[in-house]
Structure 1
Amino acid sequence: MSEQDAPQYPVDPVNRVKRRHDRGFYDHATVHRLLDAAALAHVAYVIDGRPFCTPTLFWREGTRLYWHGSSASRMLRNLSTGEPACLTVTHLDSLVLARSGMNHSADYRSVMAFGTAVLVDDRDEKVRALTMMVDRFFPDRTATLRPITAQEIKATAVVVMEIERASAKIRAKGVADDEEDYALPIHAERLPVQTVLGAPEPCPRLLADVARPGTLAPYRAGRPLEEAVSEAYAVAYAGTEFA
Protein backbone atom coordinates (compact mmCIF):
# COMPACT_ATOMS: atom_id res chain seq x y z
CA MET A 1 0.00 0.00 0.00
CA SER A 2 1.38 3.38 -0.99
CA GLU A 3 1.63 6.25 1.48
CA GLN A 4 -1.18 8.03 -0.36
CA ASP A 5 -3.44 4.97 -0.05
CA ALA A 6 -2.75 4.42 3.66
CA PRO A 7 -5.78 4.97 5.94
CA GLN A 8 -6.00 8.52 7.26
CA TYR A 9 -8.30 10.42 9.56
CA PRO A 10 -10.30 13.17 7.86
CA VAL A 11 -8.77 16.63 8.16
CA ASP A 12 -10.85 19.71 8.86
CA PRO A 13 -10.53 22.89 10.97
CA VAL A 14 -10.99 20.84 14.17
CA ASN A 15 -7.87 18.66 13.88
CA ARG A 16 -5.75 20.39 11.23
CA VAL A 17 -2.36 21.43 12.62
CA LYS A 18 -2.56 25.20 12.32
CA ARG A 19 1.09 26.09 12.86
CA ARG A 20 4.01 24.25 11.29
CA HIS A 21 2.00 22.08 8.93
CA ASP A 22 5.12 20.01 8.24
CA ARG A 23 4.87 18.59 11.76
CA GLY A 24 1.31 17.34 11.33
CA PHE A 25 0.40 13.71 10.55
CA TYR A 26 -3.08 12.26 10.09
CA ASP A 27 -2.42 8.68 8.99
CA HIS A 28 -3.67 5.84 11.16
CA ALA A 29 -0.21 4.24 11.42
CA THR A 30 1.44 7.29 13.00
CA VAL A 31 -1.49 8.20 15.24
CA HIS A 32 -2.00 4.63 16.48
CA ARG A 33 1.71 4.01 17.07
CA LEU A 34 1.94 7.04 19.36
CA LEU A 35 -1.27 6.11 21.19
CA ASP A 36 -0.15 2.53 21.77
CA ALA A 37 3.20 3.66 23.21
CA ALA A 38 1.48 5.79 25.85
CA ALA A 39 0.16 4.63 29.21
CA LEU A 40 -1.50 7.84 30.39
CA ALA A 41 -3.81 10.18 28.52
CA HIS A 42 -5.64 13.39 29.38
CA VAL A 43 -9.29 13.60 28.38
CA ALA A 44 -11.02 16.98 28.07
CA TYR A 45 -14.79 17.57 28.13
CA VAL A 46 -17.13 20.47 28.68
CA ILE A 47 -19.79 19.53 31.24
CA ASP A 48 -22.51 22.03 32.18
CA GLY A 49 -20.54 24.80 30.52
CA ARG A 50 -17.36 24.14 32.52
CA PRO A 51 -14.18 22.60 31.07
CA PHE A 52 -12.68 19.51 32.72
CA CYS A 53 -9.49 17.63 31.88
CA THR A 54 -8.74 14.34 33.61
CA PRO A 55 -5.68 12.05 33.48
CA THR A 56 -6.50 8.38 32.95
CA LEU A 57 -5.13 5.05 31.78
CA PHE A 58 -6.51 4.21 28.35
CA TRP A 59 -6.20 1.74 25.49
CA ARG A 60 -7.02 1.49 21.80
CA GLU A 61 -8.91 -1.08 19.75
CA GLY A 62 -8.84 -0.19 16.08
CA THR A 63 -10.23 3.33 15.82
CA ARG A 64 -11.86 3.15 19.24
CA LEU A 65 -10.40 4.44 22.49
CA TYR A 66 -11.39 3.16 25.93
CA TRP A 67 -10.77 4.54 29.40
CA HIS A 68 -12.25 3.98 32.85
CA GLY A 69 -13.20 5.79 36.00
CA SER A 70 -15.48 5.70 39.01
CA SER A 71 -19.20 5.24 38.44
CA ALA A 72 -19.68 8.01 41.03
CA SER A 73 -17.81 10.52 38.87
CA ARG A 74 -20.03 13.46 37.88
CA MET A 75 -18.23 13.77 34.57
CA LEU A 76 -18.67 10.12 33.66
CA ARG A 77 -22.34 10.12 34.64
CA ASN A 78 -22.86 12.94 32.15
CA LEU A 79 -21.58 10.71 29.35
CA SER A 80 -24.65 8.46 29.35
CA THR A 81 -25.99 10.21 26.26
CA GLY A 82 -22.60 11.03 24.79
CA GLU A 83 -20.38 14.09 25.06
CA PRO A 84 -17.80 15.58 22.67
CA ALA A 85 -14.33 14.82 24.02
CA CYS A 86 -10.68 15.24 23.14
CA LEU A 87 -8.09 12.70 24.29
CA THR A 88 -4.42 13.69 24.15
CA VAL A 89 -1.09 11.96 24.73
CA THR A 90 2.39 13.45 24.63
CA HIS A 91 5.85 11.86 24.53
CA LEU A 92 8.48 14.39 25.62
CA ASP A 93 11.75 13.55 23.84
CA SER A 94 14.01 16.48 24.73
CA LEU A 95 14.36 20.00 26.08
CA VAL A 96 16.05 22.35 23.62
CA LEU A 97 18.25 25.27 24.72
CA ALA A 98 18.83 27.73 21.90
CA ARG A 99 20.67 31.05 21.60
CA SER A 100 17.47 33.07 21.98
CA GLY A 101 14.46 32.72 24.21
CA MET A 102 12.17 32.50 21.20
CA ASN A 103 13.95 29.40 19.88
CA HIS A 104 14.00 27.47 23.15
CA SER A 105 11.73 24.49 22.55
CA ALA A 106 11.15 20.78 23.09
CA ASP A 107 11.21 17.74 20.85
CA TYR A 108 8.00 15.77 21.28
CA ARG A 109 5.46 13.43 19.70
CA SER A 110 1.79 14.06 20.47
CA VAL A 111 -1.71 13.03 19.44
CA MET A 112 -5.07 14.76 19.75
CA ALA A 113 -8.05 12.49 19.12
CA PHE A 114 -11.60 13.84 18.84
CA GLY A 115 -14.93 12.05 19.09
CA THR A 116 -18.04 11.48 21.17
CA ALA A 117 -17.44 9.72 24.48
CA VAL A 118 -20.20 7.39 25.72
CA LEU A 119 -20.55 5.00 28.65
CA VAL A 120 -20.37 1.27 27.95
CA ASP A 121 -23.68 -0.08 29.28
CA ASP A 122 -23.63 -3.67 28.02
CA ARG A 123 -22.38 -5.83 30.90
CA ASP A 124 -20.49 -8.35 28.75
CA GLU A 125 -18.77 -5.58 26.80
CA LYS A 126 -17.95 -3.82 30.05
CA VAL A 127 -16.37 -6.95 31.54
CA ARG A 128 -14.38 -7.52 28.34
CA ALA A 129 -13.20 -3.92 28.41
CA LEU A 130 -12.17 -4.15 32.08
CA THR A 131 -10.21 -7.28 31.20
CA MET A 132 -8.34 -5.43 28.47
CA MET A 133 -7.73 -2.49 30.79
CA VAL A 134 -5.30 -4.85 32.57
CA ASP A 135 -4.24 -7.15 29.73
CA ARG A 136 -3.40 -4.27 27.36
CA PHE A 137 -0.47 -3.53 29.70
CA PHE A 138 0.10 -7.05 31.07
CA PRO A 139 -1.03 -9.65 28.48
CA ASP A 140 -3.09 -12.58 29.86
CA ARG A 141 -2.75 -11.36 33.44
CA THR A 142 -6.49 -11.21 34.16
CA ALA A 143 -6.78 -14.97 33.76
CA THR A 144 -4.41 -15.42 36.72
CA LEU A 145 -6.21 -13.00 39.06
CA ARG A 146 -9.02 -13.24 41.56
CA PRO A 147 -12.23 -12.87 39.47
CA ILE A 148 -13.81 -9.43 39.33
CA THR A 149 -16.88 -9.07 41.53
CA ALA A 150 -20.32 -7.76 40.64
CA GLN A 151 -19.76 -4.77 42.95
CA GLU A 152 -16.45 -3.93 41.25
CA ILE A 153 -18.14 -4.01 37.86
CA LYS A 154 -20.91 -1.75 39.16
CA ALA A 155 -18.46 0.69 40.75
CA THR A 156 -16.34 1.10 37.61
CA ALA A 157 -17.42 3.10 34.59
CA VAL A 158 -15.98 2.35 31.16
CA VAL A 159 -15.99 4.94 28.40
CA VAL A 160 -15.57 4.33 24.69
CA MET A 161 -14.94 6.90 21.97
CA GLU A 162 -14.80 6.30 18.25
CA ILE A 163 -12.00 8.44 16.84
CA GLU A 164 -13.76 10.75 14.39
CA ARG A 165 -10.72 12.97 13.78
CA ALA A 166 -7.15 12.84 14.98
CA SER A 167 -3.82 14.47 14.36
CA ALA A 168 -0.28 13.72 15.43
CA LYS A 169 2.31 16.44 15.78
CA ILE A 170 6.01 15.68 15.89
CA ARG A 171 9.00 17.92 16.50
CA ALA A 172 12.39 16.19 16.21
CA LYS A 173 14.58 19.10 15.20
CA GLY A 174 16.84 19.74 18.16
CA VAL A 175 18.51 23.16 18.27
CA ALA A 176 17.20 25.43 15.52
CA ASP A 177 18.45 29.00 15.83
CA ASP A 178 18.12 31.95 13.49
CA GLU A 179 21.05 31.73 11.08
CA GLU A 180 22.72 34.91 12.35
CA ASP A 181 22.55 33.66 15.96
CA TYR A 182 24.89 30.70 15.38
CA ALA A 183 27.82 33.13 15.52
CA LEU A 184 26.92 34.27 19.04
CA PRO A 185 29.09 33.05 21.97
CA ILE A 186 26.11 31.45 23.72
CA HIS A 187 25.90 27.80 24.75
CA ALA A 188 23.12 25.75 23.14
CA GLU A 189 22.22 22.08 23.52
CA ARG A 190 19.55 19.41 23.39
CA LEU A 191 18.72 17.53 26.60
CA PRO A 192 17.25 14.09 25.74
CA VAL A 193 14.37 12.97 27.97
CA GLN A 194 13.14 9.41 28.57
CA THR A 195 10.78 7.72 31.01
CA VAL A 196 12.70 4.59 32.05
CA LEU A 197 11.50 1.68 34.17
CA GLY A 198 13.11 1.15 37.56
CA ALA A 199 13.79 -2.16 39.26
CA PRO A 200 10.59 -4.06 40.19
CA GLU A 201 9.64 -3.74 43.89
CA PRO A 202 7.74 -6.86 45.00
CA CYS A 203 4.89 -6.37 47.45
CA PRO A 204 6.31 -6.81 50.99
CA ARG A 205 3.41 -9.18 51.77
CA LEU A 206 4.03 -11.40 48.74
CA LEU A 207 3.87 -15.10 49.64
CA ALA A 208 7.30 -16.68 49.68
CA ASP A 209 6.62 -19.23 46.94
CA VAL A 210 5.12 -16.77 44.42
CA ALA A 211 7.51 -16.07 41.56
CA ARG A 212 7.40 -13.10 39.18
CA PRO A 213 5.56 -14.24 36.01
CA GLY A 214 7.65 -14.57 32.88
CA THR A 215 5.03 -12.49 31.05
CA LEU A 216 6.36 -9.44 32.91
CA ALA A 217 9.81 -9.83 31.32
CA PRO A 218 9.26 -6.81 29.02
CA TYR A 219 9.00 -4.65 32.15
CA ARG A 220 12.64 -4.66 33.21
CA ALA A 221 14.84 -2.07 34.84
CA GLY A 222 16.43 0.41 32.45
CA ARG A 223 13.99 -0.13 29.58
CA PRO A 224 12.07 2.85 28.17
CA LEU A 225 8.45 2.66 29.30
CA GLU A 226 7.07 3.29 25.82
CA GLU A 227 8.95 0.25 24.45
CA ALA A 228 7.47 -2.02 27.12
CA VAL A 229 3.97 -0.61 26.67
CA SER A 230 4.14 -0.92 22.87
CA GLU A 231 5.33 -4.52 23.12
CA ALA A 232 2.58 -5.38 25.59
CA TYR A 233 -0.06 -3.94 23.26
CA ALA A 234 1.28 -5.98 20.33
CA VAL A 235 1.23 -9.20 22.38
CA ALA A 236 -2.20 -8.57 23.91
CA TYR A 237 -3.83 -8.04 20.51
CA ALA A 238 -1.73 -10.47 18.45
CA GLY A 239 -3.87 -12.42 16.01
CA THR A 240 -6.82 -10.04 16.32
CA GLU A 241 -8.16 -7.40 13.97
CA PHE A 242 -6.60 -4.78 16.22
CA ALA A 243 -3.02 -6.07 15.87
Structure 2
Amino acid sequence: MNTRPPYLIPSRGAKRTHYEHETICSILDEALFCTISYAVDNRPFSIPTAFVRYEDKIYIHGSVGSHFIREIEKGIPVCISVMLTDALVVAKSAFSHSVNYRSVIIFSNAEKVEDLETKRAAFEWLTNKIVPDSWDYLRPMTDSEVRKTTALAFTFNEASARMRDGMPNDEPEDLALPIWSGLIPLQTKRGQPVADETSKNIPIPKHLS
Protein backbone atom coordinates (compact mmCIF):
# COMPACT_ATOMS: atom_id res chain seq x y z
CA MET A 1 0.00 0.00 0.00
CA ASN A 2 1.37 3.43 -0.97
CA THR A 3 1.52 5.61 2.15
CA ARG A 4 3.05 8.66 0.47
CA PRO A 5 0.97 11.85 0.47
CA PRO A 6 -0.94 12.44 -2.78
CA TYR A 7 1.19 15.43 -3.78
CA LEU A 8 4.26 13.16 -3.98
CA ILE A 9 2.59 10.65 -6.28
CA PRO A 10 3.03 11.59 -9.96
CA SER A 11 0.00 11.79 -12.20
CA ARG A 12 2.12 10.81 -15.23
CA GLY A 13 5.64 9.65 -15.98
CA ALA A 14 5.81 7.58 -12.80
CA LYS A 15 8.90 5.72 -14.01
CA ARG A 16 10.87 8.96 -13.80
CA THR A 17 10.03 9.46 -10.12
CA HIS A 18 12.41 8.27 -7.41
CA TYR A 19 12.18 8.32 -3.63
CA GLU A 20 15.59 6.91 -2.69
CA HIS A 21 17.37 9.04 -0.10
CA GLU A 22 20.73 8.70 -1.87
CA THR A 23 19.28 9.87 -5.18
CA ILE A 24 17.66 12.91 -3.61
CA CYS A 25 20.84 13.81 -1.70
CA SER A 26 23.04 13.54 -4.80
CA ILE A 27 20.90 16.08 -6.65
CA LEU A 28 20.71 18.43 -3.66
CA ASP A 29 24.48 18.29 -3.23
CA GLU A 30 25.17 19.18 -6.87
CA ALA A 31 22.65 22.02 -7.15
CA LEU A 32 23.68 25.45 -5.86
CA PHE A 33 20.26 27.10 -5.82
CA CYS A 34 16.68 26.20 -5.06
CA THR A 35 13.33 27.95 -5.35
CA ILE A 36 11.11 28.22 -2.28
CA SER A 37 7.40 28.72 -2.88
CA TYR A 38 4.74 29.56 -0.32
CA ALA A 39 1.44 31.39 0.03
CA VAL A 40 0.44 34.28 2.28
CA ASP A 41 -3.11 35.63 2.36
CA ASN A 42 -3.92 33.50 -0.69
CA ARG A 43 -1.13 35.15 -2.69
CA PRO A 44 1.67 32.97 -4.10
CA PHE A 45 5.34 33.82 -3.62
CA SER A 46 8.40 32.11 -5.08
CA ILE A 47 11.98 33.01 -4.12
CA PRO A 48 15.23 31.58 -5.57
CA THR A 49 18.04 31.24 -3.03
CA ALA A 50 21.30 29.42 -2.33
CA PHE A 51 21.13 26.36 -0.08
CA VAL A 52 23.21 23.56 1.34
CA ARG A 53 22.40 20.06 2.53
CA TYR A 54 23.96 18.81 5.74
CA GLU A 55 22.94 15.34 6.87
CA ASP A 56 19.12 15.16 6.69
CA LYS A 57 18.34 18.87 6.46
CA ILE A 58 18.86 21.68 4.00
CA TYR A 59 19.77 25.18 5.15
CA ILE A 60 19.24 28.66 3.74
CA HIS A 61 20.08 32.09 5.11
CA GLY A 62 18.80 35.62 4.80
CA SER A 63 18.59 39.00 6.51
CA VAL A 64 16.57 39.13 9.71
CA GLY A 65 14.65 41.99 8.05
CA SER A 66 13.73 40.04 4.92
CA HIS A 67 9.96 39.77 4.37
CA PHE A 68 10.52 36.36 2.79
CA ILE A 69 12.51 35.08 5.77
CA ARG A 70 10.12 36.54 8.35
CA GLU A 71 7.16 34.81 6.71
CA ILE A 72 8.56 31.33 6.28
CA GLU A 73 10.33 31.25 9.66
CA LYS A 74 6.82 31.07 11.14
CA GLY A 75 6.70 27.47 9.94
CA ILE A 76 4.16 27.89 7.17
CA PRO A 77 4.13 25.12 4.51
CA VAL A 78 6.65 25.60 1.71
CA CYS A 79 7.50 23.78 -1.49
CA ILE A 80 11.20 23.68 -2.38
CA SER A 81 12.26 22.82 -5.94
CA VAL A 82 15.66 22.10 -7.48
CA MET A 83 16.47 21.31 -11.10
CA LEU A 84 19.66 20.39 -12.92
CA THR A 85 19.51 20.37 -16.74
CA ASP A 86 21.88 17.99 -18.52
CA ALA A 87 20.81 18.19 -22.17
CA LEU A 88 18.21 19.47 -24.61
CA VAL A 89 16.49 16.53 -26.26
CA VAL A 90 15.89 17.40 -29.92
CA ALA A 91 13.38 15.14 -31.62
CA LYS A 92 12.07 14.96 -35.17
CA SER A 93 8.94 16.82 -34.13
CA ALA A 94 8.44 19.71 -31.71
CA PHE A 95 5.83 17.60 -29.91
CA SER A 96 8.53 15.07 -28.92
CA HIS A 97 11.21 17.56 -27.82
CA SER A 98 12.23 17.14 -24.19
CA VAL A 99 14.98 17.80 -21.64
CA ASN A 100 17.32 15.49 -19.80
CA TYR A 101 17.16 16.67 -16.22
CA ARG A 102 17.39 15.78 -12.53
CA SER A 103 15.04 17.48 -10.10
CA VAL A 104 13.85 17.35 -6.50
CA ILE A 105 10.61 18.58 -4.95
CA ILE A 106 10.41 18.95 -1.15
CA PHE A 107 7.40 19.78 1.01
CA SER A 108 8.49 21.06 4.39
CA ASN A 109 8.32 23.73 7.08
CA ALA A 110 11.12 26.02 8.24
CA GLU A 111 12.87 25.50 11.55
CA LYS A 112 14.62 28.66 12.75
CA VAL A 113 18.16 27.94 13.89
CA GLU A 114 18.56 29.73 17.22
CA ASP A 115 21.82 28.28 18.51
CA LEU A 116 24.74 30.58 17.64
CA GLU A 117 27.23 27.80 16.97
CA THR A 118 24.81 25.87 14.79
CA LYS A 119 24.14 29.06 12.81
CA ARG A 120 27.88 29.56 12.31
CA ALA A 121 28.21 25.96 11.16
CA ALA A 122 25.33 26.39 8.69
CA PHE A 123 26.96 29.51 7.24
CA GLU A 124 30.24 27.60 6.93
CA TRP A 125 28.57 24.67 5.13
CA LEU A 126 26.82 27.04 2.73
CA THR A 127 29.91 29.18 2.08
CA ASN A 128 32.08 26.16 1.34
CA LYS A 129 29.46 24.74 -1.01
CA ILE A 130 29.20 27.94 -3.06
CA VAL A 131 32.98 28.60 -3.02
CA PRO A 132 34.68 25.35 -1.94
CA ASP A 133 37.27 25.57 0.85
CA SER A 134 36.83 29.33 1.22
CA TRP A 135 35.51 29.63 4.79
CA ASP A 136 38.88 29.43 6.55
CA TYR A 137 40.41 31.86 4.03
CA LEU A 138 37.87 34.61 4.62
CA ARG A 139 37.66 37.19 7.40
CA PRO A 140 35.61 35.45 10.13
CA MET A 141 31.99 36.46 10.61
CA THR A 142 31.45 38.57 13.70
CA ASP A 143 28.85 37.73 16.33
CA SER A 144 26.94 40.81 15.17
CA GLU A 145 26.86 39.54 11.58
CA VAL A 146 25.64 36.15 12.74
CA ARG A 147 22.85 37.77 14.76
CA LYS A 148 21.83 39.91 11.77
CA THR A 149 21.43 36.82 9.61
CA THR A 150 18.70 34.21 9.95
CA ALA A 151 19.42 30.55 9.28
CA LEU A 152 16.51 28.26 8.47
CA ALA A 153 16.57 24.48 8.30
CA PHE A 154 14.19 22.19 6.44
CA THR A 155 13.83 18.45 6.72
CA PHE A 156 13.21 16.59 3.50
CA ASN A 157 11.18 13.64 4.72
CA GLU A 158 8.52 14.48 2.14
CA ALA A 159 10.60 14.61 -1.02
CA SER A 160 10.77 13.04 -4.45
CA ALA A 161 13.21 13.16 -7.34
CA ARG A 162 12.36 13.10 -11.03
CA MET A 163 14.84 12.42 -13.81
CA ARG A 164 15.01 11.94 -17.54
CA ASP A 165 17.99 10.56 -19.42
CA GLY A 166 18.49 9.29 -22.92
CA MET A 167 17.69 10.03 -26.54
CA PRO A 168 14.45 11.38 -28.03
CA ASN A 169 11.32 9.26 -27.96
CA ASP A 170 10.07 9.91 -31.46
CA GLU A 171 6.80 8.57 -32.74
CA PRO A 172 7.31 5.32 -34.71
CA GLU A 173 6.08 6.92 -37.93
CA ASP A 174 8.66 9.72 -37.57
CA LEU A 175 11.77 7.56 -37.20
CA ALA A 176 12.46 7.36 -40.96
CA LEU A 177 12.11 11.11 -41.55
CA PRO A 178 15.31 12.84 -42.83
CA ILE A 179 15.28 15.21 -39.82
CA TRP A 180 18.22 15.36 -37.39
CA SER A 181 17.48 14.28 -33.83
CA GLY A 182 19.66 13.76 -30.77
CA LEU A 183 21.02 15.64 -27.75
CA ILE A 184 22.49 19.08 -27.16
CA PRO A 185 24.49 18.74 -23.89
CA LEU A 186 24.31 21.58 -21.38
CA GLN A 187 27.02 22.39 -18.85
CA THR A 188 27.28 24.67 -15.83
CA LYS A 189 30.89 25.21 -14.84
CA ARG A 190 33.01 27.67 -12.92
CA GLY A 191 35.10 30.04 -15.02
CA GLN A 192 38.38 31.80 -14.36
CA PRO A 193 38.14 34.16 -11.35
CA VAL A 194 38.19 37.89 -12.16
CA ALA A 195 39.70 40.19 -9.51
CA ASP A 196 38.11 43.46 -8.46
CA GLU A 197 40.16 46.66 -8.11
CA THR A 198 41.23 45.90 -4.53
CA SER A 199 42.54 42.45 -5.44
CA LYS A 200 44.45 43.00 -8.67
CA ASN A 201 47.81 42.60 -6.90
CA ILE A 202 46.72 39.73 -4.63
CA PRO A 203 47.55 36.23 -5.88
CA ILE A 204 44.54 34.02 -6.57
CA PRO A 205 44.25 31.70 -3.56
CA LYS A 206 44.69 27.99 -4.02
CA HIS A 207 41.02 27.19 -3.45
CA LEU A 208 40.05 29.44 -6.40
CA SER A 209 42.69 28.27 -8.83
TM-score, reference length from structure 2: 0.89
Counterpart of 1:67 (choices 60, 66, 70) is: 60
> Who is 2:168 aligned against?
175
Counterpart of 1:95 (choices 88, 94, 97) is: 88
Q: Give per-residue Cα distances to partners, 1:60-107, cap 9 Å, x unaligned.
A: 011101011221111211233312112111111111221222211111
Superposed displacement of residue 178, structure 1? 0.8
Give the SS at the match of 2:80. strand
> Who is 1:157 aligned against?
150
* Identity over aligned pairs, percent: 34
Give the SS at the match of 1:69. strand
Counterpart of 2:5 (choices 12, 28, 34) is: 12
Task: Return the alpha-carbon distance in structure 2 between the equivalents of residues 144 and 198 of structure 1.
Answer: 20
Task: Return the alpha-carbon distance in structure 2 between the equivalents of residues 48 and 146 of structure 1.
Answer: 41
- AA of the residue aligned to 1:175: P
Map 1:129-168 onto structure 2 (within 5 A): 129-168=122-161
> Who is 1:124 aligned against?
117
Alignment of 1:211 with 2:194, yes or no, is no
Counterpart of 2:182 (choices 182, 189, 205) is: 189
CA contact (8 A) 1:41 1:58 kept: yes
CA contact (8 A) 1:43 1:88 kept: yes
Superposed displacement of residue 125, structure 1? 1.9
> Who is 2:39 aligned against?
46
> Who is 2:14 aligned against?
21
CA contact (8 A) 1:17 1:167 kept: no
Task: Return the alpha-carbon distance in structure 2 between the equivalents of residues 139 and 189 of structure 1.
Answer: 35
Structure 1 pair 185–139 and aligned structure 2 pair: CA distance change class (3 A): closer
> Who is 2:26 aligned against?
33
Task: Return the alpha-carbon distance in structure 1 between the equivalents of residues 200 and 172 of structure 2.
Answer: 63
CA contact (8 A) 1:67 1:158 kept: yes
Structure 1 pair 49–202 and aligned structure 2 pair: CA distance change class (3 A): same
Task: Return the alpha-carbon distance in structure 2 between the equivalents of residues 205 and 121 of structure 1.
Answer: 35
RMSD (Å) for aligned C-alpha atoms: 1.9
Structure 1 runs (4+) deviating above 6 angstroms are: none
CA contact (8 A) 2:106 2:158 kept: yes
Q: Which moves more between the two structures, 78-87 or 161-170? A: 78-87
CA contact (8 A) 1:17 1:169 kept: no
Structure 1 pair 139–91 and aligned structure 2 pair: CA distance change class (3 A): closer
> Who is 1:7 aligned against?
none
Structure 2: give runs of 5+ residues left out of the alignment: none
Structure 1: give runs of 5+ residues left out of the alignment: 1-9, 218-243
TM-score, reference length from structure 1: 0.78
Task: Return the alpha-carbon distance in structure 2 between the equivalents of residues 136 and 64 of structure 1.
Answer: 15
CA contact (8 A) 2:52 2:59 kept: yes
- AA of the residue aligned to 1:44: S
Structure 1 pair 135–84 and aligned structure 2 pair: CA distance change class (3 A): same
Task: Return the alpha-carbon distance in structure 2 between the equivalents of residues 80 and 99 of structure 1.
Answer: 48
Superposed displacement of residue 140, structure 1? 4.5
Give the SS at the match of 1:87. strand
